[in-house]
Structure 1
């Protein structure tokens, strides 16, 4: 394996790299009349599909969309590992019983029988799949969606390499033996090349030779690897973006002859239209920060409000996966198509769009709110740290004291510390913005029928960001925290109580500051007595007025 330094081309760079796609004619070709008439649901008819990462956020929505919109497919095999005492079958059963699958259970419950669990683990040799299942998959599968990965930004480098690079190698080995394979779709990230300001739909030279790095990490202990990780990842912000870039390179290096395509989503957010507006089921990415704001625990956010916030709704991402696999399987491009699945190219929004989140959570409050929602953006790390201490950390100590007095376990300080760490982790993405091209996705959309464009919508220009963010906030309440939207009166009463507590606390604090710190001069003391005397006269007047009525 040749060394591959930053900015250089690989030995076989013709198939790997180009500042432009080698040839649009080669990539897209000219569809035959027969292919041009094949819709997406028709293409998936009687197809057998393998999905990794089906228990993850994108994977679950992908499974639901395929079953609902391409119900004539034959089988969906799901690679699932046992976890927390649950078998792979039990984990799948839990997912299909969730609200995400409500519509399928109501309209076409029999289609759920097309889901088949394959017990395995992308960390294990040969993916931990039995010989019998390997033979079955290689005999039947026509489409692969490889979305399994670690999405933790602060994952240890060794583990991130195994999950985001090693799993690609193992999936390719499995795919090489598949007799009917038509598509191998790899889910990457739009931030794999975040060290560049403008990101084209190409695979760039990797920041480091992944093969040498993986060999080196085999003999390094964790402490040594943790020490040198910052130097290894260089100007990338975390191990996630670093290993995703390596995974793309390995995919093209070892996937020769396979019908590969790569989809790179940006920050994946709640559903825009499907399965319902605002659907979200995890604390990852912006969801956790939204919830922390709604709970009143996040008071300051490090962000450039003028920077572009590229959030891609999960249903838009899943539609891209399905449309990209349809095009790859049907038209067989001569070169590997890469799709930057982003929104900023056609419907940009700035981080200021989430300025209204405290308002949304005041309008539709969370039942678990500890303080009235109130958060602001700042680019100044000193100001951010100040507000974290004054607005979050100190109140958290008081809340923990109150919990202890009630015989409960203190937890607020730990929660605030985790939120602060998350903000620090995400600041690279909230303080910068990028320019992506997405010509390939536009070209796929142009090939789709009008019916497919409605069902597998890729046009995000109609997306109204303020309405989307509000639905997102409501989605965190309904689907992540499982709060009843019909009991808003209880949550709103709680918000009013929290508001009154805040006003009372601020008033008492102001009085104490004035009485013991400011009122040292005779003039200040006279002013103090005048104000308090005026206040009590006002109270007596109000009482006298009420008694006469």
Structure 2
């Protein structure tokens, strides 16, 4: 029976992975070991169940996770949990844990790189280990503007990272390959993860607020006919589970993306949000302006977005505007070759994202990405 260690299980992607296993596999078919930050096992279990409630699991499914499934620990201090004897029985790992903040979190490098490397080195010593799936980010490739980034292409060393998060995720991939050559290591690089096909933004409002902010401002740094490579978190989780348990995985690197054909134009996002809100699209009023022009209208932010810190809004516009301007697509042929279907189009579940964020301000929604 597979014994699967999932890190980051109290987070957005990790929670979706746990949801997938609980829905798709009877308890007697797999054993889950969930890494979570907490003072006690009971507190860790509460964190996991509270997170899973956001994914619509029922009481019976939640009850199937108990204290035996909990591994207390933190990747910032991996030595505190890597000696747990249960780790020596692990057969598979899905490493979702990371500080995914686009803010200046001082612990980012310590967790995403130093701690993750120490964890990988420990798992490389586990004789029963069959696969270690590491969750990176497609943006770590530093893609060229207006390009399609294919899975056999090297990362673009000539481009600069827009945020330290992407730099840290690329660095840890290279370090694990260098220091753990015998680890059964598979990298999954998701594109932009937004919402859940059934539960919208209830599990997390990450990234979705950017679209709402741009539509409220009626301005952003990209054109409306530019496209963005968006996937739902439950699709990402399904793919991670498949990469984890599939008997044959031909490559050591995969994009989890919508692919060139299914990238979503910003104009379609505008239309879908307007339809969900029963309002008019902003297409005729939209303006593409530069970040510098945004700095000149910063005093208007509070009137349009409600009480907010204009410095944080400007920082968000600079960061996310930089990603939006790329207009990049990520090839997903390797997953298609495995028989994995394409993800649901963003516009088909955007109404659920709208309904689950109503009544919340942009500053409230964006805090998840600036922790």
| Length-normalised TM-score, structure 2 | 0.83
**Hey, what does 1:252 align to over in structure 2?**
177
- What is the SS of the residue equivalent to 1:73? coil
**Hey, what does 1:301 align to over in structure 2?**
220
**Hey, what does 1:441 align to over in structure 2?**
335
Listed one character per residue, the Cα deviations across residues 179-237 of structure 1 (whole Å, up to 9, x for unaligned) are 21111000001111124444332483685xxxxxxxxxxxxxxxxxxxxxxxxx96221
**Is 1:340 equivalent to 2:292 in the alignment?**
no
Deviation at 1:177, TM superposition (A): 2.0
Structure number, greater radius of gyration = 1
**Hey, what does 1:424 align to over in structure 2?**
318
Q: 1:299 to 1:418 in 2, by over 3 A?
A: farther
* Structure-2 separation of matches of 1:351 and 1:361: 15
* Structure-2 separation of matches of 1:281 and 1:195: 29
Deviation at 1:291, TM superposition (A): 5.4
> Which is richer in helix?
1
Listed one character per residue, the Cα deviations across residues 298-352 of structure 1 (whole Å, up to 9, x for unaligned) are 453322222221111111111110111122xx1264xx52111110334122122
Is this contact kept in 2: 1:77–1:118, CA < 8 A? yes
**Hey, what does 1:322 align to over in structure 2?**
241
**Hey, what does 1:176 align to over in structure 2?**
124
* Structure-2 separation of matches of 1:120 and 1:206: 34
Q: Indicate which of 367, 379, 384 corresponds to 2:288.
A: 379
**Is 1:263 equivalent to 2:185 in the alignment?**
no
**Hey, what does 1:459 align to over in structure 2?**
342
Is this contact kept in 1: 2:195–2:353, CA < 8 A? yes
**Hey, what does 1:117 align to over in structure 2?**
70
Q: Indicate which of 63, 72, 78 corresponds to 2:18.
A: 63
Is this contact kept in 2: 1:271–1:277, CA < 8 A? yes
Q: 1:88 to 1:420 in 2, by over 3 A?
A: farther
Q: Could you list the runs of 5+ residues in structure 1 that have no partner in the other structure?
A: 1-45, 208-232, 365-371, 400-411, 446-456, 482-549
**What's the RMSD between the two structures over aligned residues?**
3.3
* Structure-2 separation of matches of 1:378 and 1:268: 26
Is this contact kept in 2: 1:143–1:184, CA < 8 A? yes
- What is the SS of the residue equivalent to 1:431? helix
Listed one character per residue, the Cα deviations across residues 106-153 of structure 1 (whole Å, up to 9, x for unaligned) are 5x4553248611111111152x2163x1x2211x10010111111122
* Structure-1 separation of matches of 2:259 and 2:166: 19
| Length-normalised TM-score, structure 1 | 0.58
Q: 1:307 to 1:90 in 2, by over 3 A?
A: same
Deviation at 1:435, TM superposition (A): 3.7
Deviation at 1:239, TM superposition (A): 0.8
Q: Indicate which of 186, 196, 200 corresponds to 1:278.
A: 200
Deviation at 1:436, TM superposition (A): 2.5
**Hey, what does 1:27 align to over in structure 2?**
none
Is this contact kept in 1: 2:223–2:288, CA < 8 A? yes
Q: Could you list the runs of 5+ residues in structure 2 that have no partner in the other structure?
A: 363-371
Q: 1:443 to 1:373 in 2, by over 3 A?
A: closer
Is this contact kept in 2: 1:51–1:147, CA < 8 A? yes
State how many pairs are aligned. 356
Q: Which has the higher contact order (CA 8 A, sep 6+)?
A: 2
- Alignment of structure 1 residues 367-406 onto 2, 5 Å: 377-381=286-290, 383-390=293-300, 392-393=301-302
